[in-house]
Amino acid sequence: MKLPLPSRIPILYLILIVLIAVGVVPLYFYATKMVERNRETLGRDEKLLQNNVTTTLAQSIAQREKDISATLTSLTYSVRVTSGGNLSGKRVEAPEVKALLQNYIADPDSIVPYARLVNTENQFMMAVGTIEPDTFLEKELDRGLAAAHARREYSGEPLSVGSGKQTRTVMVVGKPVLDDQQAYMGSLELVIDLQYLVKQLMEAKNQQNLDTFVVDRSGRLVASPSSLYATGQDMNSNELVKNFVEQSGRVPAAVTMDYTVLEGKNKVPMLGTYFPVAGLGWAVVAQKTQEEAYMDITDMRRDAIRAALIAIAFSIFIGIWAARRLTTPLHVLTESSRTIAGGDFSHRVRLKSRTEFGELAQTFNTMSDDLERFVDDLKKAAQENRTLFLSSIQMLAGAVDEKDPYTRGHSDRVTRYSVLIATEMGLKEEDVDKIRISAQLHDVGKIGIEDRILKKPGALTPEEFEVMKTHTTKGAAILRPVEALKEMLPGIELHHESLDGRGYPYALKGDQIPMMPRIIMVADTFDAMTTNRPYQAAMDPEYVIRIINSLAATKFDPMVVAAMTKVFETGKLRIHRAATVSGEEAAAAVSAPTQA
């Protein structure tokens, strides 16, 4: 049996339906779209932040490890000289040797609270320091002594000493003391206080609100500012740490992933990054709950729901007080609502009435004001996120330039030159913006190049140059996981290609090379030749322009070279450097391997 349909639908119901649709549907879809877009942006920014924090900490730890190794080498030499090359018997306890070690430990910048010198017979030893070794530390010192007997340097595992507030994490390093004939004289061992590492992790935690810690190659905790973890604790239950251990050091760059951690019976979604520490087999880990990482999105979604509920409440209230014979005002309101539903939140209802529809019109306008402000706030937030994204990119490029004192400011200059060239060529603003980001990051792969090659004060050997050439593919590999940078990868990976096919890494020819790397390669070459480098002095800019023009159609794109020349001749590109090489020397330098 079919129920009879009403011959008329009360206008109140229609008004309610329209008002709810107009007030909620556009807001919901727009807010959902903006929330998802901002979620992606915040996620990308959070990943870049974690990448930057872990990279900086890992590089700092690796540099400190090198400094400790250099200091240990210097101390063993000083012990040998101070002792007169003789540590036999009680000579190991000579006052001048003891004073040497005490002065080193007493240095305010020293991170060594304990040092031990043992002679070759293991009969006498001299120890100085501010801590008293316990059983575990004694065993670790004995392992270092055994390594010294085998003429090996020793770098032990982190362990905890002391108790209560005096607890500290330390590690033992040792080195054999050899005479001029490389004969074994004894062993020098230092206990390194890792509190400096805890302080660095704490600073990162306080500044960036990240849970940071360091693990060794087996996934055991080395250091953490949190009291929730203990030195030596197995952290393999953390999926991020487990991934690092399974990789066994095969990943030389940062790894970022989503995963969950178990807190009681609850699985908490996390976003984290780890970066291997060169030379130690450790990894710096930074993580944050996804709830904290996307907190702004959660607030935004809650505000959207609240606004939707308010809109529904207003719709019901206005509908109850609606009067009959309101066809014309209803038509005005309906047309206005359609306009607003189309996304024009600046539209206002033009209706003069002393009835409830006048109030409804005013309510619609108020709601439109709220929606317009809400949209403006979303746009502002998106702009702020973009600014943060660009700033993060500039910080990352700056960090790369800071690794090499000869190229400081190189990325900023190449970016400026590339933008000038692209603008002169009349490229779209969108394409110019992509070139700006790609040029800023074109040398990011140098993060993975060893300092001995990157900072070498002279021309590279062929073998070293082959290693240096990998910075293009390393840079692309580092940034490939970031979806927003996908279109910028050609400029990073291909900026050392050449139109004649003699470039690297893939020896591409002609049209195989996109426009983005064609522009960046000219800007990169201009800056490399007009700045002082270990393998050449800065050349005169006008002479460099002539060299670049001579290579048009063979190495460089003629259109790009013409734009570069036009920018230079019109004075838009100004640099003030005096050339320090002759034309013949400069021409010879052009064909030499470069590190730009």
Compare 73 and 17 and report the one with higher pLDDT.
73
In this model, does residue 260 exceed pLDDT 60?
yes
Three-class SS of 191-220: EEECHHHHHHHHHHHHHHCCEEEEECCCCE
pLDDT at 590: 45
pLDDT at 591: 46
Q: Rounded to whole angstroms, how far apart are CA atoms 129 and 103?
A: 10
Compare 105 and 425 and report the one with higher pLDDT.
425
Least confident of 126-130, 272-276, 543-547, 557-561: 126-130
Compare 331 and 187 and report the one with higher pLDDT.
187
Compare 456 and 19 and report the one with higher pLDDT.
456
Q: Looking at 411-567, which runs of residues are DSSP E strands?
A: none
pLDDT at 348: 66
Per-residue b or e along 466-492, where b marks 16 or more CB atoms closer than 10 Å to that residue's CB: ebbbbbbbbbbbbbeebebbeebbbbb
Using one digit for the tens of pLDDT, what is the confidence trace for 484-508?
Answer: 889 999 999 999 999 999 999 999 9
Using one digit for the tens of pLDDT, what is the confidence trace for 352-380?
Answer: 665 666 666 677 677 777 777 777 767 77
Task: State whether the Cα torsion 541-545-546-550 is positive or negative.
Answer: positive
539 - beta bridge partners? none
Long-range contacts of 215-220 (CB under 8 A, 24+ apart): 215/241, 215/244, 215/282, 215/283, 215/285, 216/157, 216/158, 216/280, 216/281, 216/282, 217/245, 217/248, 217/249, 217/281, 217/282, 218/245, 219/244, 219/245, 220/157
pLDDT at 580: 47
Using one digit for the tens of pLDDT, what is the confidence trace for 458-478?
Answer: 778 889 889 889 999 998 898
Cβ count near 409 (within 10 Å): 12
Residue with tokens 């140059």: 465
Mean pLDDT value across the chain: 80
Confidence of residue 181 (pLDDT cuts 50, 70, 90): confident
Cβ count near 358 (within 10 Å): 14
Compare 212 and 122 and report the one with higher pLDDT.
212
C-alpha distance across the termini of the chain, in Å? 84
pLDDT at 456: 80
In this model, does residue 3 exceed pLDDT 60?
no
Measured in whole angstroms, how far is the alpha carbon of residue 131 from the centre of its chain?
A: 38
Please give the single-letter amino acid code of residue 130: T
Q: What does the block give as tokens for 256?
A: 């970022």
Report CA-CA distances (Å) from 6 to 9, 15, 92.
7, 17, 109
Q: Which helix (H) or strand (E) holds 96?
A: helix 95-106
pLDDT at 433: 92
